[in-house]
Chains A and B, each alone.
Chain A
Amino acid sequence: MKDLLRKIRKTGRVAEDPPERPAESAPDALRELGGSVQLRHVDAGSCNGCEVEIASVFGPVYDAERYGARLVASPRHADALVVTGPVTRNMEMALRRTYEAVPAPKGVIALGDCARNCGVFAGAYGVVGAVRDVVPVDVEVPGCPPEPEAIVAALRGLTGR
Chain B
Amino acid sequence: MSGSTTLAGTVGAAAQVVLVAAGSPLLVGVMRQVRARLEGRAGAGVLQPWRDLRKLLRKEAITPHGTGPVFRAAPLVLAATALVAAGVVPIATTESPLDGAADLFAVTALLALGTVALALAALDTATAFGGMGASREMTVLALVEPTILMSVFALSVPVGSTNLGAIVNSTLHEPQRVVSPVSLLAAVALAVVVIAETGRIPVDNPATHLELTMIHEAMVLEYAGPDLALVEWASAMRLTVLLGLVANLFAPWGIAGADSGWVALAALPLALAAFAAKVTLLGGALAAGEVFMAKLRMFRVPELLAGSFVLALLAVAASFFLA
Contacts and interface: CB of A to CB of B under 8 A. Distances in A.
B42 A73 contact: no
B297 interface: no
Contact of B51 (A4, A11, A32, A35): A35
Interface stretch (A63-71, A128-136, A137-145, A146-154): A63-71
Interface string B188-200: 0000000000000
A105 interface: yes
Given A36-B51, A65-B36, A76-B221, A104 B59 contact: yes
Interface residues of A, number: 35
A65 B44 contact: yes
Contacts of B225: 103
Interface in B160-182: none
B54 A13 contact: no
Interface in A1-55: 1, 4-5, 8, 11-15, 18, 32-38
A14 B42 CA distance: 8
Contacts of B265: none
Contact of A36 (B37, B54, B61): B54
A146 B42 CA distance: 23
Contact of B52 (A11, A36, A63, A66): A36
A4 B289 CA distance: 12
A15 B54 contact: no
A65 B55 contact: no
Given A63-B41, A73-B211, A68 B51 contact: yes
B210 interface: yes
A60 B41 contact: yes
A33 B223 contact: no
A114 B233 CA distance: 39
A18 B41 CA distance: 12
Contacts, number: 92
A65 B39 CA distance: 13
Contacts of A36: 48, 51-52, 54-55
Contacts of B228: 76-77
Contact of A65 (B43, B59, B208, B209): B43
Contacts of B54: 34, 36
A66 B43 CA distance: 5
Given A4-B292, A76-B62, A33 B40 contact: no
Instruction: Using C-beta atoms within 8 Å of the partner chain, give the interface range for chain B.
Output: 35 or more
A122 interface: no
A34 B47 CA distance: 12
Contacts of A65: 36, 41, 43-44
B45 A60 contact: no
A103 B60 contact: yes
B285 interface: no
A14 B211 CA distance: 29
B123 to A, nearest CB: 17
A60 B40 contact: yes
Given A74-B222, A77-B224, A104 B55 contact: no
Contacts of A5: 292
Given A12-B40, A15-B40, A103-B59, A76 B222 contact: yes
B95 interface: no
A13 B222 contact: no
A107 B142 CA distance: 41
A63 B48 CA distance: 14
Given A11-B40, A15-B41, A73-B211, 18 more contacts: A1-B292, A4-B291, A14-B41, A15-B42, A33-B58, A34-B55, A35-B55, A60-B41, A63-B41, A65-B44, A66-B43, A66-B45, A70-B44, A73-B217, A74-B221, A76-B224, A103-B224, A104-B59
22 contacts: A1-B292, A8-B38, A8-B291, A11-B40, A14-B40, A15-B41, A18-B42, A34-B55, A36-B54, A37-B55, A60-B40, A65-B41, A66-B36, A66-B43, A67-B44, A68-B51, A76-B228, A77-B223, A101-B62, A103-B59, A103-B62, A103-B225
